A = this chain, B = another copy of it.
Amino acid sequence: MINERFLQKAEECKPELHHETVTVPGNGEPMKAGAEAVFDFGNHYVGYLSVDFGYEGHHPDAPLYFQIQFAEIKDELNQNPAEYHGWISKSWIQEEKIHFDEVPGICALPRRYAFRYVKIKILSVSDNYSVIINSLSADTVTSAKDDQLRYPVLPEEDRKLYEVSARTLRSCMQEVFEDGPKRDRRLWLGDLRLEAIANYETYRNYDLVKRCLYLFAGTTLEEGRLSNNLFLYPKPECDFQTMFDYTLFYINTQWDYYCAAKDLETLRELEPVCETQHRLLKEYFGKDGLLDMEKAGNVFIDWNFSLDKQASGQAVYIYAMNDLLKIQKELHKDTGELEDEIRRLSEASMKLFDEEKGLFVSGPNRQVSYMSQIWMILAGVVKDKDAREILERVEKTPDAVTMNSPYAYHHYIQALIDAGLKDKAYAKMKEYWGGMLKMGADTFWELYNPEDPGVSPYGGIIVHSFCHAWSCTPAYFLNKYFAD
């Protein structure tokens, strides 16, 4: 369903993109077919590349044919695109083969890329000339304003962590908050929520969050259900797929936005969209107050197909309702029923608590996982000492399903903080994201498993996004909890 009024509001908040030209020198070497060179832009950028080609020898008398690869991390250049056969479309691989008719001259590539490294391989010239790469120039774009970036007082060792987090967010801030500027280059609700809270602590572009809230509100599925993500071109349209948790996070994103921007008008206008999600999704609970996973459908929680998501899904719902309650109270609505519901579902959640193990379990196989504990804490089902004990206990449970993504780790850090384990949160954050820093990250990655850095849920790291919204939250944590 399209709501033109909401889309008009979204359009009014469309950001101006800030352009900065970044140029690196060429290699100065005459290149024949087969020659290749790698160029390093020194940091992660999103933008449009131009290559200034010169030549040596006689005037070029045949087109130049070259291959160009863009890489967010250097290891992408070692991957062979022909060997990727994963389930995500190989069209995401940032590689082109281009004929250029106007050597000497500047070849401007029409597409936008996300990269630090650029590799150029000459596929064909004529016998009469060699090509020379004079320089590469990138027209870089972001809607983040660098002069708005907050710089908290941080110990020296945390500055890199902060900068790389902020850089990640910066590269994802385009016409919307994208999930990743390499892939999917698209507005996802789950990513938006984390980008928004990181944004409030860094670039503080409130209008960009407002725009995204109106875009989702303006493009819904049947009965007003919010989709996972949406497309902007040729006109805003939401994806056909839904995820239980992502839908609910709209409510949290709305409340966070209100807390940051104090925009009561938007809160009032979009509260019915939040309430619609509540009305639709509460039907997925059984009389026992537990989430019916057959009705719930997809629940994301983490990039992990073996994770049982019942307990986490149950908790995410309560987590969202906690914020819906705040929204409705702010708007002076009658919240009696909602408070009852939260209480009822929170109590029911304790049916998932295994007294013997002292941990929440999930699904028919009573699976123990980090995520189940984390979400029950974030939902406030358990608190304080109970929460602390649970988090310490799960760490000592060897068969507990661990976390795969920075997205999952974000919630772990937040749960540690909520449980009062701030020092541990700080240490875990530095250990996890610091692992990526040690591997040379300029931006934080979509996927990082310290135990197995090469693992991919897609079938190849060549399609991974190495600048991914949901990994940008150390900037949020550092500013909100750890800066002086």
- The residues of A with any CB-CB pair to B shorter than 8 Å are 58-65, 87-92, 96-97, 99, 101-102, 104-105, 110-112, 123-128, 184-186, 231, 233-234, 237, 239-240
Contact = CB atoms under 8 A, between A and B. Distances in A.
A91 B111 contact: no
A91 B105 contact: no
A238 to B, nearest CB: 8
Nearest to A124: B91
Contact of A63 (B92, B124, B127, B128): B92
A234 B104 contact: yes
Q: How many copies does the complex hold?
A: 2
A104 B237 CA distance: 12
B59 A237 contact: yes
22 contacts: A58-B239, A59-B237, A60-B231, A61-B239, A62-B88, A62-B89, A62-B91, A63-B89, A63-B91, A63-B92, A88-B126, A90-B124, A91-B123, A91-B124, A96-B97, A99-B111, A101-B111, A101-B185, A102-B233, A105-B233, A105-B234, A110-B110
Main secondary structure of the interface of A (DSSP, over half): loop
**Most B C-beta atoms less than 10 A away, residue of A60, A90, A186:** A90
Contact of A102 (B92, B128, B186, B234): B234
Contacts of A240: 58-59, 128
Contacts of A231: 59-61
Given A87-B127, A89-B124, A90-B123, 12 more contacts: A59-B231, A59-B240, A60-B231, A62-B91, A62-B184, A63-B89, A64-B91, A65-B89, A91-B99, A101-B111, A101-B185, A105-B233
B62 A125 contact: no
Contacts of A125: 89, 91
A239 B59 contact: yes
